Structure 1
Amino acid sequence: MDLNVWLWIVAGLLATILLGSTSKMFVPREKIAAVGGTAAQWLLDFSPGALRAIGTVEILAAAGLILPAVLDIAPVLVPITATCVALLFACAVAMRLRRGERKTIAADLVYLVLAAFVAWGRFGPESFTALTG
């Protein structure tokens, strides 16, 4: 598979992960924390309003990773969104380090690297402007 296909796969995976994590907007944080174990305890540090805001950012990020390219409307938003997603996961890593949750940090680090990969690929060798022009 070529790099463009891998970038689409990773962007789709990240969008799916981001959409899946928006459950915090609809399910009480106490319930998620009880079911999610150690990895979900961070939810209790945030107000319901803050969790809705984070969920809204995640929905917008999921859309920004896919829709601009699919609709061919400002496709430069894809690598910009991927950069913002990398920043989001960098903040998640920092939050986990602050909480002393070193065992639950691996997924956030993987997502950070995947987002950075999409940003690099779409700003660089497989930018949409290079593909169309």
Structure 2
Amino acid sequence: MNIAYWIVAVPLALFYLYAGTLKVTRSRDQLRPMMAWVDRIPLPALRALGTVEVLGATGLLLPPLTGIALPLAPAAAGGLVLLQAGAIAVHLTGGDRRIALNAGLVTSAAVTLWLATGL
């Protein structure tokens, strides 16, 4: 197995498992101190976003671990690239210029996508 893939994919997946679980389980009031943008989208969309993040994290880890449906790993990484591109757009259109975390996540997801193609 490609060690470089695991070095990048595991922390990325852990971040998305954490962030996605928060979005699925916590209220807007609990999320607002961490994510100022939560009031700009409907609650069902926020829950769906969290679900997509958890599924993306699962897609990064399970296919390479099990050897089943390996094309899902690069698909999950590509989906996370698109997700973060959308997150950057949401931040910038809302007047929030703090996108350093998003830039790091989109870069990590792109590297994971590139490494996943060699699995």
- Structure 2, gaps ≥5 residues long: none
Which TM-score applies when normalising by structure 2? 0.93
Is the Cα contact below 8 Å between 1:30 and 1:44 reproduced in 2?
Answer: no
In structure 2, C-alpha distance between the alignment counterparts of 1:31 and 1:25, rounded to whole Å: 12
Q: Write the deviation string for residues 45-93 of structure 1: whole angstroms up to 9, x where unpaired.
A: 1222111101110111010000011010011211111011001001001
In structure 2, C-alpha distance between the alignment counterparts of 1:109 and 1:57, rounded to whole Å: 19
- Structure 1, gaps ≥5 residues long: 129-133
* RMSD across aligned positions (CA): 1.4
Q: Which has the higher helix share?
A: 1
**Bigger radius of gyration among the two:** 1
In structure 2, C-alpha distance between the alignment counterparts of 1:65 and 1:121, rounded to whole Å: 11
The higher-RCO structure (CA 8 Å, 6+ apart) is: 2
Q: Percent identity?
A: 37
Which TM-score applies when normalising by structure 1? 0.84
Deviation, 1:6, is: 2.2
Is the Cα contact below 8 Å between 2:4 and 2:115 reproduced in 1?
Answer: no
Aligned residue in 2 for 1:131: none
Aligned residue in 1 for 2:80: 85
Deviation, 1:9, is: 1.7
In structure 2, C-alpha distance between the alignment counterparts of 1:52 and 1:32, rounded to whole Å: 12
